[in-house]
Amino acid sequence: MKLALSVRAKLLAILMVTSGTAVLLASAATFVYESRSMRRVMSEDLNSLADVAGANSVAAMAFGDVTASKEILAALALKPGVNAAALYERDGKLFASFQRSKVSAERIPLRAPTPVVEKDRTMVVRTIKLGAEVAGFIYISSDHSEIVRRQIQSAWLFLAIMIGTMFVLYLLSLTLQKIISVPILALANTAHEVAQTKDYSLRAIGTERGDEIGALVHSVNGMIAQMQDHESRLLGHGVELEREVTARTSELVGARERAEVANQAKSEFLANMSHEIRTPMNGIMGMTGLVLQSDLTGEQRGYLEIVESSADSLLVIIDDILDFSKMEAGKLSLDPIEFGLAAKIDEIMQLMAPRAAEKKIGLTHTIGRDVPARLIGDPGRWRQIVVNLVGNAIKFTERGGVVVRVELGARDSEGDTIHVSVADTGIGIPVDKQSSIFDSFSQADASTTRRFGGTGLGLSIASQLTRLMGGRIWVKSVPRVGSVFHVEIPFQLSPVEALAIVPIAAIAHAEGFRPLRVLLAEDNAVNALLASVLLKKVGHQVTHVVTGRKALDALAMGQFDLILMDVQMPEMDGLEATAVIRQLEVSTGRHIPIVAFTAHAMAEDRKRFLAAGVDGYLTKPFSPDQLHAVIGSLRPLIDEQIAQGERPATAA
Amino acid sequence: MSERRSIIKRLLILATLLFGVRVEAQNPMSESQVKAMFVYNFLKFVEWPVDTSAGAKDPFVVLIIGEGATADATEHFLESKTIGERPLVVRRIRWDQSLAGVRAAFVVEPDVRRLHHILDAAAAAGVLTIGEGESFTTRGGVIALLVEDRKVRFDVDTAAAQSARVRVSSKLLALTRVVRSSTDRSQR
């Protein structure tokens, strides 16, 4: 409110200064005028006084009565300021004179003087007439003390008037300034309040005034109204914006959902492709294997072995492409379980040994003593990485050999790592290609593809899998000398390291000692035939149905020790049938072992199968060994169920 | 002081310019001459009843009754003088002559009886009477000239003036030595 006081004070000051100056000027002018007129009046007064005194002394002069004349002149002393007076005869001779005693300095002129006004005194001379004749002259001298006295009086009066006027002016100004200041203060208050509270519904009062302040108030109110309008429009904009954001968000959510659905579709397509390709491959490989076990001429066996190895290669390529697609789609996931790394490496080496032998190069491997026997990881992915690296090394080595080393690697931030190195004596990789060797579809040069074949995806898949597992991969190579590929992957130790798994080969051998009644539900004739042949070869009894429904019917009519069931079947699929079987078993308390065949090799599929009540599964295409291994692993359960089935029979 | 002196000097020069011609006034006047001047001056301070018959420029008649130095001086002094615009006419006559048309009379009459006669007649005719000696007013005259301390003075009897229907100016009365009234005379 400092500003308010200032406006009020300013108005007050303006009014006071203006009117005060006017009063002062008027007073001063009046004072000057009065001072001047006082002198004039004084001269006139003295003239009149001289005339009267002269008239009074005319007789005294006529009769030469000096005493009487002096008395008349002395009467002039009654008038303040008159210091001297004199009468002169007609001929100018001094007749009588009067002098105020206290003023001795005043000298009486000897002769009649002419009227003179001096600075501090006024002298008049008047002719005394008796009738028409000049009887003599009268002289009066007066000082200006009377004027000064009156001037001082006037000054005091003016001062008093000024003080009084200023006081009245002050009171008036105090009231009058409100005419200006009150609406301005009200306006300022309103503006302040609007700024503080942001309440744009407020309005300043005083628009009814016709003057400029009224116009100002009107303008300010207009501005506030505009601000109110803007604010409400802004609010409207905000609401609109919010609505738009909501709409966009829901659009985005919709788009994301559609994308997810599309992605889902893609995943499903990949899974189906996997299934559709693997199913015929199973037939080719299985049948080729069977034919090779029969009596053949040397020529026939040679051709069939080419078919078998081609099918193997094709399967590897298909697996590579599918894996790569899944990685590109971000669909590849790890399925960590407890496994034995050393056993896994041994298995891979057995697998790769024929290829090395074929090229007449060496393939050796060493496993460090400090490498833990069992650890947590995804054995399938480990296998893929090592197979890819070793396969790659064999492929590009013409002479010499391949050495695989597995040892404990450096400790990194994630913990201990396993370091695998694959060294070859192959063609090597030029330095400028070493950095891009892990990129997709990249081989050292285009001629390499023609010369050595392959998809060029092997290293890329190994690299991506390594990264997925939190590890790193790199290469050191000298062209025409050889390359060393390094992989370092963090791992976690298994809590129960000691527990060893029975080797698959051992199970396979142990599987066939007791013939089983097997129900085979498989709609694909080739696969059904392959499975039947394999089972019958080891002495099992096989009943074949083509749908889940028919499997249920067969189960109702006969006794079975084991069910092999394809997941994808018309009418009723394997999982559905399994669920129904498990439902029925709730009353009997029995549990018939079920093994599922599937082309769905993905981790989430396995979880789905187990949840449905499946005891084991085989991924198509499967080898005879794999089939026997699964049956062997279920042997204790099968035996238990057979025993359970016989007991009530004997009891009955 | 020098300023004041210069002013005085200036005033003296001016006074000389105005009055320097009239040097002969310095000569002292004789007693008779002074009395004659007084007589003339008295005429200026007395008012008469309005005379409707007389014109503004008709002669103003003054009688001189009796003989003596003052009478002579007065006659001489009043000659060729005027009262306003009216010329003064002086007549020397005997005591028993008519006073008709006369305004004032200077009376010298040692005989008391005759003097009473003259004064009564003058009062009746509205004539201002002027004489010499203290006794003049006690015997019925209006103004009496006398000499006191070598100075000419005068007495005025207001009662006599009243009976003669002339009014003596208060200015004149202020200068008189003694003012007598009718009560004074009746006491006597």
Give pLDDT, residue A486: 93
**Can you say whether residue A454 is alpha, beta or left, with left for phi > 0 and alpha for psi between -120 and 50 degrees?**
left
CB-CB under 8 Å, B45 with A59: yes
Give pLDDT, residue A250: 93
Give pLDDT, residue A253: 93
Pairing state between β B128-132 and B104-107: parallel
Higher pLDDT: A9 or B29? It is: A9
- For chain B, how far is it from start to end, CA to CA, in angstroms? 61
Distance (Å, rounded) from C-alpha A177 to C-alpha A487?
A: 95
Give pLDDT, residue A247: 93
Chain B residues in contact with A95 (beta carbon < 8 A): none
Nearest to B84 among A90, A93, A132 (CB): A132
Give pLDDT, residue A484: 92
> How far is residue A195 from each of residues A67, A104, A206, A221, A232, measured CA to CA in Å?
97, 84, 19, 13, 16
Give pLDDT, residue A236: 87
- Which stretch of DSSP H or E encloses residue A223? helix A212-293
Higher pLDDT: A506 or A518? It is: A518
Please report where in the chains the tokens 């001489």 appear, as a residue: B76
Residue A454 shares a structural domain with residue A565: no
Q: In DSSP terms, which residues pair with A483 in a beta bridge?
A: A477
**Res A597 pLDDT > 70:** yes
Does A636 reside within a domain?
yes
Residue A81 shares a structural domain with residue A148: yes
pLDDT band per the 50, 70, 90 thresholds, residue A197: confident
Pairing state between β A82-89 and A116-117: unpaired
For chain A, give the percent of residues with pLDDT over 70: 88
Pairing state between β A517-521 and A562-566: parallel
Residue A602 shares a structural domain with residue A476: no
Residue A420 shares a structural domain with residue A552: no
Does A246 reside within a domain?
no
**pLDDT tens readout for residues A122-168:** 888 888 888 777 888 888 888 888 888 888 988 898 889 888 988 99
Higher pLDDT: A519 or A499? It is: A519
Give pLDDT, residue A4: 53
Residue A482 shares a structural domain with residue A521: no
Token digits of residue A431 = 């330095």
Mean confidence (pLDDT) of chain A: 81
B109 contacts B118 by C-beta, under 8 angstroms: yes
**pLDDT tens readout for residues A245-287:** 999 999 999 999 998 888 777 767 776 777 778 778 888 888 8
Residue A473 shares a structural domain with residue A535: no
CB-CB under 8 Å, B14 with A92: no
Residue A450 shares a structural domain with residue A577: no
Token digits of residue A24 = 């002062």
Nearest to A111 among B15, B84, B169 (CB): B15
E strands, A603-647, are 616-619
Q: How confident is the model over B24-38, as a mean pLDDT?
A: 73
A129: CATH: 3.30.450.20
Give pLDDT, residue A252: 93
Give pLDDT, residue B186: 41
Q: How confident is the model over A395-422, as a mean pLDDT?
A: 84
Chain B closest CA to A124's CA: distance in Å? 12
Distance of CA A337 to the CA centre of its chain: 41
Give pLDDT, residue B147: 87
Give pLDDT, residue A67: 83
Q: Note the ipTM here.
A: 0.71
- At residue A344, φ and ψ (nearest 5 deg) are -65, -45
Boundary-marking domain end, from A493, A513, A543: A493
Residue A162 shares a structural domain with residue A50: yes
Show the domains of chain B with their CATH numbers. 29-187 (3.40.50.2300)
Give pLDDT, residue A513: 59
CB count in 10 Å sphere of residue A251: 10
Domains of chain A: total: 3
CB count in 10 Å sphere of residue A90: 19
Residue A487 shares a structural domain with residue A527: no
Instruction: Say whether A627 sits in a helix, a strand or coil.
Output: helix
**Res A38 pLDDT > 90:** no
**pLDDT tens readout for residues A363-382:** 989 888 888 877 888 888 88
Pairing state between β B151-157 and A374-377: unpaired
**pLDDT tens readout for residues B153-163:** 888 988 888 88
**Res A110 pLDDT > 60:** no
Does A289 reside within a domain?
no
Chain A residues in contact with B10 (beta carbon < 8 A): 113
A95 contacts A138 by C-beta, under 8 angstroms: no
For B23, what's the count of Cα atoms within 13 Å in the CB-facing half-sphere? Answer: 4
Which residue numbers of A have CB closer than 8 Å to B's CBs? 56, 58-60, 62-65, 68, 89-93, 107, 109-114, 116, 118, 130-132
Does A227 reside within a domain?
no
Distance (Å, rounded) from C-alpha A388 to C-alpha A316?
A: 10
**Res B20 pLDDT > 80:** no
Q: Is A510 exposed, middle or buried (0-12, 13-18, 19+ CB in 10 A)?
A: middle
Distance (Å, rounded) from C-alpha A635 to C-alpha A643?
A: 12
Distance (Å, rounded) from C-alpha A621 to C-alpha A288?
A: 13
Residue A380 shares a structural domain with residue A523: no
Does A239 reside within a domain?
no
> How far is residue A611 from each of residues A520, A562, A582, measured CA to CA in Å?
21, 19, 11
Boundary-marking domain end, from A493, A524, A546: A493
**Res A503 pLDDT > 50:** no
CB-CB under 8 Å, B19 with A118: no
Q: Is A163 exposed, middle or buried (0-12, 13-18, 19+ CB in 10 A)?
A: exposed
Report the largest interatomic distance among the alpha carbons of chain A, rounded to a whole angstrom.
205
**pLDDT tens readout for residues A279-328:** 788 888 888 888 888 888 889 888 888 888 888 878 877 777 777 777 76
**Amino acid (one-letter) located at A144:** H
Boundary-marking domain end, from A152, A168, A184: A168
Residue A344 shares a structural domain with residue A419: yes
**Amino acid (one-letter) located at A557:** M
Residue A431 shares a structural domain with residue A579: no
Report the largest interatomic distance among the alpha carbons of chain B, rounded to a whole angstrom.
69
pTM of the complete model? 0.41
A350: CATH: 3.30.565.10
Give pLDDT, residue A251: 92
pLDDT band per the 50, 70, 90 thresholds, residue A569: confident
**Res A652 pLDDT > 60:** no
**Res A510 pLDDT > 70:** no
Contacts A–B by Cβ distance under 8 A: 71
Does A219 reside within a domain?
no
Q: Is A146 exposed, middle or buried (0-12, 13-18, 19+ CB in 10 A)?
A: middle
Chain B closest CA to A93's CA: distance in Å? 9
Give pLDDT, residue A420: 92
A334 contacts A381 by C-beta, under 8 angstroms: yes
Chain A residues in contact with B84 (beta carbon < 8 A): 131-132
Q: Is A637 exposed, middle or buried (0-12, 13-18, 19+ CB in 10 A)?
A: middle
Distance (Å, rounded) from C-alpha A114 to C-alpha A88?
A: 12
A417 contacts A410 by C-beta, under 8 angstroms: yes
Give pLDDT, residue A151: 86
DSSP state of A503: P
CB-CB under 8 Å, B169 with A109: no
Please report where in the chains the tokens 């005591």 appear, as a residue: B95
**Res A31 pLDDT > 90:** no
- At residue A498, φ and ψ (nearest 5 deg) are -70, -30
Give pLDDT, residue A496: 44
Give yes or no for B5 touching A (CB within 8 A). no
Token digits of residue A416 = 């201990």
DSSP A124-188: EEEEEEETTEEEEEEEEEEESHHHHHHHHHHHHHHHHHHHHHHHHHHHHHHHHHHHHHHHHHHHH
**pLDDT tens readout for residues A71-97:** 888 888 888 888 888 888 887 788 888
Does A456 reside within a domain?
yes
A102 contacts A159 by C-beta, under 8 angstroms: no
CB count in 10 Å sphere of residue A587: 7
**pLDDT tens readout for residues B53-97:** 667 778 888 889 888 888 888 888 888 888 878 888 888 887 667
Distance (Å, rounded) from C-alpha A444 to C-alpha A460?
A: 13
Does A74 reside within a domain?
yes
Instruction: Say whether A55 sits in a helix, a strand or coil.
Output: helix
Chain A closest CA to B10's CA: distance in Å? 8
Ranking A217-231, B62-76, B167-181 by mean pLDDT, the lowest is: B167-181
Q: Which domain holds residue A555?
A: 504-651
A328 contacts A461 by C-beta, under 8 angstroms: no
Token digits of residue B112 = 């008391």
A510: CATH: 3.40.50.2300
